[in-house]
Amino acid sequence: MGESYQPEPGGFRAARYLVLAVLLGLVAVPVLALLWRGARPELLAGLNSPQVREATVNSLVTSGISALVATAFGAGLALLIERTDVPARNFFRAAFFLPFLIPPFIGAIGWLAVFGPVGYVNVLYNNATGSSEGLVNLYGPGGIIALLALHAYPITYLMTAAALRGVPGSLEEAARASGAGRLRMVRDVTLPYIYPALLAGFILLFVSNLSDFGIPALLGLPVQYQVLPTLIYSYLVGGTTENPLGAASALGTVLLAVGAAAFLLQRHLFRRVSSDAEGRAQPVALGRSRYPVTAMLGAVAFLFAVAPVLALLVGALLRAPGVPLTPENLTLANIERAVLAPATVRGFVNSFVLATGAALLCGVIGALVATLVVRTRNRLNGSIDTLALIPQALPGTVVAVAWILTGIPLGIYNTRSIILFAYVMAFVALVVQAVRGSVAGVPVVLEEAAQLSGASPLRALRDVTLPLAAPAVVVGSGLVFFTAIRELTVSALLVAPGTETLGVVIFNLHQAGAFNASTALALVVALGGLLGVGAMALATRGRGVYGAD
Amino acid sequence: MAQIEFQDVSLAYGGGGGVTGVDLTVEDGEFVALLGPSGSGKTTLLRLVGGFLRPDRGAVLIGGEPVAGPKAWVPPEKRRLGMVFQYHAVWPHRSVASNVEYPLRLAKVGRSEREERVREALSLVGLEGFEHRAPETLSGGQRQRVALARALVMQPAALLLDEPFASLDAALRARLRAELSALVRRTGVTVVHVTHDRTEALALADRVAVLHEGRLVQVDEPRRLYSAPATPFVARFVSDAALLRVRARGAGRFALEGGNEFEVENIPEHGGSGPGTLAVRPQDIRLEPGGEGRVRAVLFMGDTQEVVVGWRGHELRVQAPADARYRLGEAVRPVFGRGVFFPDG
């Protein structure tokens, strides 16, 4: 039964009001400030300029197509790796997950090292053919779409794999027993099970690609291809318009509307298909195509996961861009110089402080929100949940503009605090989502047993549920830390001299043409991220969620 | 040890499981089983005692003191109860000893006494020396014993059992059942035990309270419940009786709807005449060769066999000796040795 109709003790009420007040300040106030400043008829009318129309179309085209490509690719990949007898499954899982661990703008720097105008492929091609036109041109919409899709598909993969694990084997076996072949079974039983996940995944990717700043900034700005986040950046940083804050607010309002609509749509559409049927699904035999398929997967995995990291590595170790790859041309000096530069050190310290602060604050707020929403019944719970989760649907650019508008009257504009608050707003949902499932997975009877032993409801929560949910809080906070320390989109608009983050330092170096230095730092960030995530995975292994049986 | 009393307790529940007008007294040291199908309200009654639900109407008393009622409310942690849940609610992040000593720790019992009492409680449930084991290294039955030790360590006013054996396999269930029976007699603790398993209820309890759609329909000793059910529902739920719609003609003679007459050799408590329901238990029917009945299924049970017979539009379950042979479709004549008649109205 699991429901408790006992009167709620006072501690819960106090915690609820506290959390609500914090979320109102961190989420509702900035969003309302943005709407108040941006949703004005004269400003929105000003959006009807060719420049804005073009950026809007570009945004919709690049994020729509890249989300579609990523969804199809991620789902196909998940079906192949998770549901067939393809060998070396764990290797493929890890390799294809790698692009997700590298921040998009870092990945873009790596891909430019492979396919950019002076990247290896084009240099080799030009040397061989004597042509001055490159073979591949990453700049412009094509490259933006490709890279957005590349960094997004692992999300679809994860969602599809989770949905596939939920397909009961007995349902598939029933289809086979009824006379369906392997493909027919996948089409009639397996796919209907994962459609909701695919749809939800597509919307999620669309919003997240719409929000991305790093890839279009690196691949679009050099050829004057603008999308909404880069246009806002140009307004605020480039001083290309007379009322930059007003124009940015109006654009931010539009982005906010798109993000919120997608969030609500996804919530509405995402219904888990459920069944009482049980059993693990058997892998589908690939038969004669097993080895060709494996070879193809291997080649793609090498291209996606290994090539850009390898390119970063080589680019960072070469004495100068474009010199031949020979042992005497390799040096650690670039990395050393880039890492020890005062700007880098400052950026790293700033990012470290900000990421640590954001992880701690998000951990506390997220754990409280998740516990209240799962364990208590109250009219305010819905509002708390929505306030905590909705920033996830807001493009980072929107969060940044909203905090500029909030921070100026508060006098925290141009300080590190404004970046910290923006990070907490943007990332608290990561902790809420990580902890919510974990708290829900702790059976209520465990708390009831503590109460009958003489513990008050709050004491029962502290002694039983908190220790059991702690690993999830650590994972959620760790996720916030790793996201924040490599973050670019939000801080790009909020930094001031002295408060630059690591991401902004690398971005500025690249924009200034210091490719050696930016590549070296990108390599450090990429490898650091991989090590960090690996360490976190190891640390939390075996401390799973409590299972009732 | 204390008496538990329900006084006219009602609780409405969205979607079934509520209770209406329950009056029941569990005496000090008594073992009462709450028996009923799912949704009958038996778990609701237990959770009302535990303090996880609050009645809409009526009062719950423990040891004569109201703990829930119009003016009274005592939260679960102040009720001094022990409870064992269906899915052994043993805290996975605490060792066995730390699980069992938790109530003592909250009651601020000193360390040496805590250790002593934990040892006693563990030996009571047959888990001596398991103090430092982690729950995940225990079997389901051992975890349930830990839960029992934790429930008993404070010498609670009463022990509440919520289907404690339901998640165990049949053999283990039987063994723990016997152990539990011996243990509660030895400690003399008051027990309220919720189950949908009638064998368990009949085997363990001093008295069984049968619930149907949120109401108490009979509270009686197991033997009386079995031989003298108060309603047709109890007869079917407790002893698998076949229920026949009949008209009583007196002197053990009954007529089915449609007029066919038959005889029942022994009718305890002559219920009168007129229309009503006749309940006949499987072991009170004999089969003789030839007749209108047709054997539809034979289920061998080891020491007996269950024969399903189609007879005059009814389905009868007959408990037959294991050595008799029946073929499907064979013609048989049911002879009714004993039945209980419930007149309408």
pLDDT exceeds cutoff 80 at A271? no
Nearest CB to A464 within list B75, B76, B91 = B91
State how many domains chain A has.
2
Comparing A330-339, A402-411, A417-426, B262-271, the range with the smallest average pLDDT is B262-271
Q: Residue A227 falls within a domain, yes or no?
A: yes
Comparing A320-324, A378-382, B179-183, B279-283, the range with the smallest average pLDDT is A320-324
Q: Residue A134 falls within a domain, yes or no?
A: yes
Do residue A452 and residue B73 have CB atoms under 8 angstroms apart?
Answer: no
Average pLDDT, chain A: 85
Q: What is the mean pLDDT of residues A126-146?
A: 83
Nearest CB to A549 within list B17, B73, B87 = B87
Number of H helices, E strands in chain B: 8, 19
Quote the CA–CA distance of A364 and A112 in Å, as a whole number: 40
CATH domain B4-231 topology: Rossmann fold (3.40.50)
Would you kindly state where each structural domain of chain B is located, as residue ranges? 4-231, 240-343
pLDDT exceeds cutoff 60 at A273? no
Residue A449 Cα, gap to closest chain B Cα (Å): 7
pLDDT exceeds cutoff 90 at A357? yes
Q: Which one of A409-413, A498-502, B257-261, B322-326 scores highest in mean pLDDT? A: A498-502
Do residue A443 and residue B89 have CB atoms under 8 angstroms apart?
Answer: yes
Q: Which one of A47-61, A346-360, B158-172 scores highest in mean pLDDT? A: A346-360
Print the domain residue range for A150: 55-315
Q: What is the mean pLDDT of residues A356-379?
A: 91
Q: Looking at the structure, tell me whether residues A365 and A256 fall in a common domain.
A: no
Q: Residue A150 falls within a domain, yes or no?
A: yes
- Note the pLDDT of residue B214: 92
Identify the band that residue A166 occupies on the pLDDT scale cut at 50, 70 and 90. Answer: confident
Residue A344 to residues A334, A504, A518, A525, B309: CA-CA distances in angstroms? 13, 10, 10, 12, 89
Helix (H) or strand (E) holding A422: helix A416-440
Q: What percent of chain B has pLDDT over 70?
A: 98
Do residue A452 and residue B47 have CB atoms under 8 angstroms apart?
Answer: no
Q: What is the mean pLDDT of residues A16-42?
A: 91
- Note the pLDDT of residue A439: 87
Q: Read off the pLDDT of residues A97-127 as tens digits, 9 standing for 90 and up.
A: 888 888 889 989 888 887 877 777 777 777 7
- Lookup: tokens for A465: 């549920």
Q: Residue A135 falls within a domain, yes or no?
A: yes
- Note the pLDDT of residue A2: 39
The answer, for A464 touching chain B at a CB cutoff of 8 Å, is: yes
- Note the pLDDT of residue A542: 45
Q: What strand order describes the sheet that includes B191-195?
A: B81-84, B158-162, B191-195, B31-35, B207-212, B215-220
Do residue B76 and residue A6 have CB atoms under 8 angstroms apart?
Answer: yes
Identify the band that residue A59 occupies on the pLDDT scale cut at 50, 70 and 90. Answer: very high
The answer, for A2 touching chain B at a CB cutoff of 8 Å, is: no
Residue A205 Cα, gap to closest chain B Cα (Å): 38
Comparing A183-187, A498-502, B35-39, the range with the smallest average pLDDT is A183-187
Q: Looking at the structure, tell me whether residues A523 and A382 fall in a common domain.
A: yes
Q: Looking at the structure, tell me whether residues A289 and A385 fall in a common domain.
A: no
Q: What is the mean pLDDT of residues A160-171?
A: 79
Helix B111-124 with B140-152: angle, nearest 10 deg: 130
CB neighbour list of residue B228: distance below 8 Å, 6 or more residues apart: B220, B268, B269, B340
- Note the pLDDT of residue A64: 94
| Domain termination site, one of A315, A344, A374 | A315
pLDDT exceeds cutoff 50 at A546? no
Quote the CA–CA distance of A201 and A69 in Å, as a whole number: 12
Do residue B167 and residue A452 have CB atoms under 8 angstroms apart?
Answer: no
Q: Read off the pLDDT of residues B112-151 as tens digits, 9 standing for 90 and up.
A: 999 999 999 999 888 999 999 998 899 888 998 999 999 9
Do residue A449 and residue B93 have CB atoms under 8 angstroms apart?
Answer: no
DSSP annotation string for B149-212: HHHHTT--SEEEEESTTTTS-HHHHHHHHHHHHHHHHHHT--EEEEES-HHHHHHH-SEEEEEE
Residue A453 Cα, gap to closest chain B Cα (Å): 4
CB atoms < 10 A from the CB of B295, how many?
18
Q: Looking at the structure, tell me whether residues A30 and A84 fall in a common domain.
A: no
pLDDT exceeds cutoff 90 at A472? no
The answer, for A455 touching chain B at a CB cutoff of 8 Å, is: yes
Nearest CB to B106 within list A445, A455, A467 = A455
Do residue A443 and residue B87 have CB atoms under 8 angstroms apart?
Answer: yes
Do residue A452 and residue B53 have CB atoms under 8 angstroms apart?
Answer: no
Helix (H) or strand (E) holding B255: strand B253-256
| ipTM higher than threshold 0.95 | no
Residues of chain A contacting residue B114, judged by C-beta atoms under 8 Å apart: none
Best B67, B77, B108, B114 member to test A by mutation, with max A CBs in 10 Å, is: B77
Do residue B89 and residue A453 have CB atoms under 8 angstroms apart?
Answer: no
Do residue B76 and residue A7 have CB atoms under 8 angstroms apart?
Answer: no
Do residue A454 and residue B107 have CB atoms under 8 angstroms apart?
Answer: yes
Between residues B329 and A179, the one the model is more confident about: B329
Q: Read off the pLDDT of residues A75-105 as tens digits, 9 standing for 90 and up.
A: 999 989 988 888 888 888 888 888 888 888 9
Quote the CA–CA distance of A137 and A112 in Å, as a whole number: 10
Between residues B166 and A18, the one the model is more confident about: A18
Between residues A5 and A40, the one the model is more confident about: A40
Comparing A220-229, A300-309, B97-106, the range with the smallest average pLDDT is A300-309
- 3-state percent breakdown (helix, strand, coil) of chain B, nearest 5: 30, 35, 35
Nearest CB to B82 within list A452, A459, A464 = A452
Q: Read off the pLDDT of residues A480-523 as tens digits, 9 standing for 90 and up.
A: 998 899 899 999 999 988 899 999 999 999 988 888 888 899 99
Do residue A4 and residue B167 have CB atoms under 8 angstroms apart?
Answer: no
Q: Residue A408 falls within a domain, yes or no?
A: yes
Q: What is the mean pLDDT of residues A143-158?
A: 91
Torsion sign across C-alpha atoms B229, B232, B235, B238: negative
Secondary structure (3-state) at A254: helix
Do residue A452 and residue B85 have CB atoms under 8 angstroms apart?
Answer: no
The conformation of residue B128, written as its DSSP 8-state character, comes to T
Q: Residue A372 falls within a domain, yes or no?
A: yes
Residues A501 and A495 sit within 8 Å (Cβ to Cβ):
yes
Of B138, B136, B106, nearest in space to B122 by CA: B138
Q: What is the mean pLDDT of residues A458-479?
A: 88
The answer, for A8 touching chain B at a CB cutoff of 8 Å, is: no
pLDDT exceeds cutoff 80 at B99? yes
Q: Looking at the structure, tell me whether residues A476 and A542 fall in a common domain.
A: yes
Q: Residue A46 falls within a domain, yes or no?
A: no
CB atoms < 10 A from the CB of B36, how many?
26
Residues of chain B contacting residue A546, judged by C-beta atoms under 8 Å apart: 92
- Note the pLDDT of residue A549: 29
Residue B76 Cα, gap to closest chain A Cα (Å): 5
Of B311, B178, B328, nearest in space to B256 by CA: B311
- Note the pLDDT of residue A417: 93
Residue A469 Cα, gap to closest chain B Cα (Å): 11
Residues of chain B contacting residue A548, judged by C-beta atoms under 8 Å apart: 87
Residues of chain A contacting residue B151, judged by C-beta atoms under 8 Å apart: 452
Nearest residue of chain B to residue A1 (CA atoms): B43
CB neighbour list of residue B80: distance below 8 Å, 6 or more residues apart: A454, B62, B154, B156, B157
Do residue B83 and residue A468 have CB atoms under 8 angstroms apart?
Answer: no
Quote the CA–CA distance of B22 and A533 in Å, as a whole number: 58
Q: Looking at the structure, tell me whether residues A31 and A85 fall in a common domain.
A: no
Q: Looking at the structure, tell me whether residues A395 and A306 fall in a common domain.
A: no
Q: Looking at the structure, tell me whether residues A277 and A155 fall in a common domain.
A: yes
Residues of chain A contacting residue B53, judged by C-beta atoms under 8 Å apart: 4-6
pLDDT exceeds cutoff 80 at A533? no
pLDDT exceeds cutoff 70 at B224? yes
Q: What pairing do the DSSP bridges indicate for beta strands B57-62 and B340-343?
A: unpaired
Quote the CA–CA distance of B33 and B191 in Å, as a whole number: 8
Residues of chain A contacting residue B154, judged by C-beta atoms under 8 Å apart: 453-454
pLDDT exceeds cutoff 60 at A302? yes
- Domain B240-343, second-level architecture: Beta Barrel (2.40)
Quote the CA–CA distance of B211 and B190 in Å, as a whole number: 20
The answer, for A433 touching chain B at a CB cutoff of 8 Å, is: no
CATH number for the domain spanning A422: value is 1.10.3720.10
Q: What percent of chain A has pLDDT over 90?
A: 31
Q: What is the mean pLDDT of residues A532-546?
A: 60
Chain B residues touching chain A at CB-CB below 8 Å? 17, 43-44, 47, 50-54, 73, 75-83, 85-87, 89, 91-93, 102-103, 106-107, 147, 150-151, 154, 160, 167
Q: Residue A321 falls within a domain, yes or no?
A: no
SS (H, E, C) A506-548: HHHHHHCCCHHHHHHHHHHHHHHHHHHHHHHHHHHCCCCCCCC
Phi, psi of B27 (to 5 degrees): -70, 160
Q: What is the mean pLDDT of residues B233-257?
A: 88
